[in-house]
Amino acid sequence: MDFHSKSMRLNTLRRSVMNHLITALSILATLLVIAPLVAILVYLIYKGASSLNLAFFTHIPAPVGEPGGGMANSIVGSGIVLGLSSLMGVPIGIAAGVYLAEFGRGTLLANAVRFTADVLNGVPSIVMGIAIYSLVVMQQKHFSALAGGIALAIMMVPTITRTTEEMLATVPHAIREAALGLGVPKWRTAISVSLRTASPGIITGCMLAFARVAGETAPLLFTAFGNQFWSFKLNEPIAALPLQIFVYAISPYDEWHRLAWAGALVLIVLIMVSVTLVRIVANRGVLKGAS
Amino acid sequence: MGVGIQVENLNAWYGSTHTLHDINLHIPANHATALIGPSGCGKSTFVRCLNRMHETNPIARATGVIKMGDLDIYKDASPVEIRRRVGMVFQRPNPFPTMSIYDNVASGLKLNGFRNRRILDETVERSLKQAALWEEVKDDLKKKSGASLSGGQQQRMCIARALAVDPEVLLMDEPASALDPVSTSKIEDLIFQLKSQYTIVIVTHNMQQAARVAENTGFFLNGKMVEFDSTHKIFTNPSDKRTEDYITGRFG
């Protein structure tokens, strides 16, 4: 065959054009994915950075009309509520995922849990807030950080459960057999071998769930409620960044609008920092050549 | 030290498929026994019955008696205990990818709650030396993942991992079928050395391999054991026509 015939060269040319076209399209798609995040960040910095000062991180909100004030109590409050929700949601979510993938395969209960998780994932966050309001707040007779934590935890669970299950499903069966064949009990194999092998993906799932609820406002409206003052008690209303941003953003005062922008900037930066930190910590101790 | 295995009327099923029919056989202690036969003849199912791995598949079941020495493995002990005494090496190397070489070898002990550092260190070194891998990995024990080794090294690491829990029996399910000739010959040398201390059962597709490493050979066909005899007899003067047809390459 003559590799230098005209049609051959044309074919080569077409392949090369196609190659570049597809590459260009994928790069374009990637840029389109990154663009909104960059746009939001840039806009937030533009609107909010000028209102950021030390007081923002150390002071509680100032009364209307008084200048200054900050969101220190909201930052700490968000930390407390998110800490609570992670403490509850992460273990429950992971444990349920382990059950689905390792123990309950094909059972009626597993199917019910999987279905529930999927439906729960689709429940609007405001509905979650109202549900926890009637289940927890009405029983306790007051708003509380705990109620906020529970609402966010329930929102985290389905994502974590389903990611855990899917990540465990990617662990090769041969690895489980290796452990079972050494006389390692099944529960220990599930935790120390399967879960550990799947941990990078599971951590990603937890971080996604965390980042999603960190910015939730609706479920906190009827649960954590918000607080203009310091509060560290779990059974009292507590401030949270999204709530404070919401209150400031719908207010008629320009000063508060500027603080709301600053709060939004701080919220998004804090989420990015915590996700990155967890990733760095989780990647420590990964061995050379580990797949 | 190894222990002999007596198998009586073993039958096994996957769902409604009857995969093993009335297997009777004595596997002598401290010898290598090879199991040969075409794909799907039940040899893998058979070895998986010997350490009760068969029953990890929810649709699988087995009946009959298997005795290790005096111990009836289906009556007198839990599957977990049996698997500690009967080590297994699988067809494809299956290192734990997140663990270092050291942790891979120590995993059988560590995952069963054993924590004594000095004994762990000694066991890892002994097992890696037994598996003829020590010299190649001793400098990277804790630095490199078990998955970073070559295929042949991984398989020897898996053998070391099985030896580290100090089993009496070592089951090998086509341990060299995924390896190159050099690695294969290293594994065969190993089997040769290990059989003085362990009872070894090796499933193989490779008849030359059976002839090289095993004193006794069993020929499986369609879930039945057609013939069991000394390797020499099986390969030079088999009593059954089907064995002769198989080893002369007329089928399979």
Q: CATH number for the domain including B60?
A: 3.40.50.300
- pLDDT at position A2 is 58
Give A-chain residues touching B165 at CB under 8 angstroms.
Answer: 182-183
Which pLDDT tens digit goes with each residue over A247-275?
999 999 888 899 999 999 999 999 999 98
- pLDDT at position A288 is 59
- pLDDT at position A4 is 67
pLDDT over 70 for what percent of chain B? 99
- Put simply, whether A185 touches B (Cβ < 8 Å) is yes
Q: Do B144 and A289 touch (CB under 8 A)?
A: yes
- pLDDT at position A66 is 81
Lowest mean pLDDT among A2-16, A75-89, A262-276, B158-172: A2-16
One DSSP character per residue, B57-96 reads STTEEEEEEEEETTEETTTSS-HHHHHHHEEEE-SS----
> How high is the mean pLDDT of chain B?
92
Distance from CA of B215 to the nearest CA of A (A): 25
- pLDDT at position A265 is 95
Residue B72 lies in a domain: yes
Which pLDDT tens digit goes with each residue over B213-231?
999 999 999 999 999 999 9
- pLDDT at position A290 is 57
- pLDDT at position B164 is 95
Distance from CA of A211 to the nearest CA of B (A): 27
Residue B101 parent element (H or E): helix B101-110
Distance from CA of B222 to the nearest CA of A (A): 25
Q: Do A181 and B148 touch (CB under 8 A)?
A: no
Check whether B155 has a pLDDT greater than 90. yes
Nearest to B84 among A183, A286, A291 (CB): A183
Residue B188: pLDDT band (50, 70, 90) is very high
- Put simply, whether B52 touches A (Cβ < 8 Å) is no
- Specify the pTM: 0.86
Q: Do A183 and B108 touch (CB under 8 A)?
A: yes
Q: Which residues pair with B8 in a beta bridge?
A: B65
SS3 at position B36: strand
B225 vs A233: which has the higher pLDDT: B225
Distance from CA of B148 to the nearest CA of A (A): 4
pLDDT over 70 for what percent of chain A? 96
- Put simply, whether A188 touches B (Cβ < 8 Å) is yes
Q: Do B94 and A184 touch (CB under 8 A)?
A: no
Q: Which of 90-129 (A) contact B at CB < 8 A? A: 105-106
Residue A34: pLDDT band (50, 70, 90) is very high
- Put simply, whether A284 touches B (Cβ < 8 Å) is no
C-alpha span between A163 and A158 (Å, rounded): 8
B57, closest residue in chain A (CA to CA): A177
- Put simply, whether A20 touches B (Cβ < 8 Å) is no
Which pLDDT tens digit goes with each residue over A99-137?
999 998 889 999 999 999 999 999 999 999 999 999 999
Name, in order, each residue with C-beta under 8 angstroms of A54's C-beta and a sequence gap of 6 or more: none
Which pLDDT tens digit goes with each residue over A148-207?
999 999 999 999 999 999 999 999 999 999 999 999 999 999 999 999 999 989 999 999
Check whether A291 has a pLDDT greater than 80. no
Distance from CA of A164 to the nearest CA of B (A): 17
Residue A285: pLDDT band (50, 70, 90) is low
Q: What is the mean pLDDT of residues B193-213?
A: 91
Give A-chain residues touching B111 at CB under 8 angstroms.
Answer: 179, 182, 184, 188-189, 192-193
- Put simply, whether B210 touches A (Cβ < 8 Å) is no
**Domain limits, chain A:** 15-51, 57-283
C-alpha span between A50 and A69 (Å, rounded): 14
- pLDDT at position A287 is 67
- Put simply, whether A189 touches B (Cβ < 8 Å) is yes
Count the domains in chain B: 1
Distance from CA of B49 to the nearest CA of A (A): 12
Distance from CA of A46 to the nearest CA of B (A): 44
C-alpha span between B43 and B23 (Å, rounded): 11
- pLDDT at position A7 is 79
Crossing angle for the helix pair A254-283 and A6-48, nearest 10 degrees?
Answer: 130
> How high is the mean pLDDT of chain A?
91
Q: Which domain holds residue B78?
A: 5-94+168-247
The alpha carbon torsion through A10, A15, A21, A22 (nearest 10 deg) reads 160
- Put simply, whether A231 touches B (Cβ < 8 Å) is no
B172, closest residue in chain A (CA to CA): A181
- Put simply, whether B54 touches A (Cβ < 8 Å) is no
- pLDDT at position A76 is 94
Which pLDDT tens digit goes with each residue over B85-107?
999 999 999 999 999 999 999 99
- pLDDT at position A70 is 87
CATH of the domain spanning A57-283, picked from 3.40.50.970, 1.10.3720.10, 3.30.70.260, 3.30.460.10: 1.10.3720.10
3-state helix/strand/coil string of chain A: CCCCCHHHHHHHHHHHHHHHHHHHHHHHHHHHHHHHHHHHHHHHHHHHHHHCCHHHHHCCECCCCCCCECCHHHHHHHHHHHHHHHHHHHHHHHHHHHHHHHHCCCCHHHHHHHHHHHHHHCCCHHHHHHHHHHHHHHHHCCCCHHHHHHHHHHHHHHHHHHHHHHHHHCCCHHHHHHHHHCCCCHHHHHHHHHHHHHHHHHHHHHHHHHHHHHCCCHHHHCCCECCCCCCCCCCCCECCHHHHHHHHHCCCCHHHHHHHHHHHHHHHHHHHHHHHHHHHHHHCCCCECCC
Q: Do B95 and A193 touch (CB under 8 A)?
A: no
C-alpha span between B6 and A259 (Å, rounded): 81
* Integer CA distances (angstroms), B212 to A236, B9, B61, B170, B202, in order: 77, 29, 33, 17, 12
Residue B74 lies in a domain: yes
Q: Which two tokens stand for residue B7?
A: 């198998």
- pLDDT at position A289 is 58
Distance from CA of A178 to the nearest CA of B (A): 6
Check whether A284 has a pLDDT greater than 80. no
Query: Residue A3 burial by CB count (10 A; 0-12/13-18/19+): exposed, middle or buried?
Result: exposed
Q: What is the mean pLDDT of residues A86-104?
A: 95
Which pLDDT tens digit goes with each residue over B130-154?
998 999 999 989 989 999 999 999 9
- Put simply, whether B156 touches A (Cβ < 8 Å) is no
Q: What is the mean pLDDT of residues A36-55?
A: 91
Check whether A43 has a pLDDT greater than 80. yes
**Complex-level ipTM:** 0.90
Nearest to B83 among A172, A180, A197 (CB): A180
- Put simply, whether A196 touches B (Cβ < 8 Å) is yes
* Integer CA distances (angstroms), A158 to A94, A113, A215, A274, in order: 10, 9, 17, 21
